[in-house]
Amino acid sequence: MMQRIIFSSLLFVSTTAFAADGILQKDCAACHNLTGPAAQTLKEAWAKKGPGLFYAGNKYRQEWLVSWLQKPQRIRPAGMYYGDHIKPGPKGDEIDTSTLKDHVVLTKADAATVAAELMKLKPHDDLIAKEKIEPGAISKDEGEKVFDKFWGCMACHLIEPGYGGFSGPELYTAAQRLQPEFMASFIRNPQAWEPKTWMPNKEVSNGNLQKMVHYFEVLSKETANAQ
Ligand code: HEC
Ligand code: HEC
């Protein structure tokens, strides 16, 4: 009897993994790199139709993946490559939202299986292991100073809807989406994750790096409260 229970639960696990892999290959692989390595040339980087997901397990919070896949909301305000979605406006460049497509939506069950499968993809445990997030708090004002004035990060990132630059992903939900160690590691050395990213390595000091991670937590709490 016992043997039978073990056998059937094993079978269950492997069929769900198989189903998720089926969805990933069938519905996601056309736009997302699921196997790595990251784009090694600018040409490859510009041709990307979606962000790489092959280090998803090192990057995302699983519960965020499950909910976002059921109700995807825009993260890169001007798409994967902003140059493709910009039009001139009276006050300078504007985002041409008519050229941006809506993301595929998954059912609750599929979102859960796909998220669990994505969380297994962890080729960069070594980079994550180098990060230690120290407990701490920061006021929004001080966070803004570090993020914007000291390091100029706002040139490419929104810190609230419609406020900031739009060539990078918005960061007002970063702490809801991303693991803190990933945020720290990506800021420390963006090229270790994406060799051809246009985010510069600004050699942010460890103290300021910790402050930025705490700042993203403040922003995300505020965003969550406003929703
Ligand atoms: C037609 C191309 C396309 C397909 C097909 C597609 N995606 Fe995406 N995906 C995108 C783009 C473009 C983005 C960036 C959206 C944004 O920044 O607003 C994205 C973003 C994401 C993100 C957030 C990543 C991040 O770091 O910001 C996840 C997770 C994701 N997709 C998972 C999936 C899964 C799972 C599937 C299959 C069920 C899928 N996608 C199918 C194009 C696609
Ligand atoms: C020149 C534009 C630019 C500047 C300046 C910049 N970034 Fe970025 N950043 C990007 C782009 C583009 C990405 C997306 C990474 C990729 O896939 O290439 C990114 C990604 C990130 C991510 C990961 C977000 C995600 O959803 O994947 C964090 C966190 C981040 N940046 C923080 C910062 C901080 C902190 C600074 C200042 C020290 C900064 N950035 C400066 C362009 C920029």
Residues 58 and 139 in one domain: no
Domain span at residue 14 reads 1-123
Closest-lying ligand 2 atom to the alpha carbon of residue 169: 26
Residue nearest atom 14 in ligand 1 by C-alpha distance: 50
Confidence of residue 80 (pLDDT cuts 50, 70, 90): confident
What integer pLDDT is reported at residue 105 of this predicted model? 97
Nearest to 27 by CA among 81, 106, 112: 106
Residues 7 and 107 in one domain: yes
Inter-residue contact 158 to 77 (CB < 8 Å): yes
Q: Is the predicted pLDDT of residue 5 greater than 80, yes or no?
A: no
Q: How far apart, in whole angstroms, are the C-alpha atoms of residue 215 and residue 139?
A: 7
Best residue among 157, 179, 217 to mutate for probing ligand 2, ranked by most atoms within 8 Å of CB: 157
Residues 57 and 107 in one domain: yes
Residues 114 and 141 in one domain: no
What integer pLDDT is reported at residue 170 of this predicted model? 97
Inter-residue contact 133 to 216 (CB < 8 Å): no
Best residue among 104, 158, 170, 171 to mutate for probing ligand 1, ranked by most atoms within 8 Å of CB: 104
User: Separation of 202 CA from ligand 1 center, angstroms?
Assistant: 28
How large is the average pLDDT for residues 22-44? 95
How many folded domains does the chain comprise?
Answer: 2
What does pTM read for this prediction? 0.92
Residues 27 and 138 in one domain: no
**Residues 42-71 pLDDT 10s:** 999 999 999 999 999 999 999 999 999 999
